[in-house]
Amino acid sequence: MSQTTASPALAEELRRWRRTRRLSQLDLAIRAGTTQRHLSYVEQGRSRPGRAMVLRLAEALDLSLRDRNGLLQSAGYAPVFPESRLDSRELGAVRDALDRILEGHMPCPAVVVRPYGELVAANRAFSLLTEGCAAELLDPPVNVLRLALHPKGLAGRVDNLAEWGGHIIQSLRSESSRSPDPRLDALIAELDGYLPSVEPGPDHLGFAVPLRLHSDDGELHLITTLTSFATAVDITLAELRLEAFLPADDATAAILERKARASTTGEG
């Protein structure tokens, strides 16, 4: 055990994250491969762990790469995870891969987003979700969460807005509870204000329901999938999410195929 006095900031951050994760000192110590006594000393500011131990604690707490850097800095160590610009040369291969992934989801709409719903890239089928949306919601940087739930956005075409929007809000609240973030909380409050209230009846199936979107070609039933880059060691890449809207039935699949062909040939 190090005899150097730990930073009070590290002690405070460790306690905060451990309580947020609802772990006892013993639980966290076992996960990190250390002793409860050592962890207790760190949380009291009586011991300064080495950089490797701080990283082990961050991993045991399941922190994001950004928060792992923050924990290192609170302990007096330099960050180890880089944060590259998405348009940098270092991420050139990543951008090419994202373009291929988005194109591979055709004819289904698919987007890549940053934290807080900021749109990074989308495939051609994304236009299906922007039809009729107010111009101000489509001005860069586009926020896909606001676009989805705003009355002047996609919401006007969603037949089950309360349930589907509730699923989005529920997911965001779960994210906020795991990594408290005032900016995210403010966004949640804004988005929640756009949704109608819903009183669950006897046939209520919960909020995790397909999106029912009406269009000129008929009602679309879409399920969403979220993909993250779990093995990324760059903060920018680790924070990206790919969201795809997949057909939940044969009728929806046929409509998506027809729309894709029409956009390619320039028809209707």
| pLDDT (tens digit per residue) in 21-32 | 999 999 999 999
The DSSP annotation for 40-59 comes to: HHHHTTS----HHHHHHHHH
Q: For the ranges 190-199, 206-215, 255-264, which has the lowest average pLDDT?
A: 206-215
266: left (phi over 0), alpha (psi -120 to 50) or beta: left
pLDDT tens digits, one per residue of 163-173: 899 999 999 99
Judge whether residue 137 has pLDDT over 70: yes
Residue 202 banded pLDDT, cuts 50, 70, 90: low
Q: Is residue 147 within 8 Å of 154, Cβ to Cβ?
A: yes
CATH class of segment(s) 8-74: mainly alpha
**Burial environment of residue 261 by CB neighbours within 10 A (0 to 12, 13 to 18, 19 or more):** exposed
Token pair, residue 254, equals 């046929």
CATH classification code of 89-265: 3.30.450.180
Find tokens 């609802």 and name the residue: 22
Tell me what pLDDT residue 232 has. Answer: 86
pTM: 0.86
Q: Where are the domains of the chain?
A: 8-74, 89-265
CA dihedral 14, 19, 24, 27 (to 10 degrees): -70
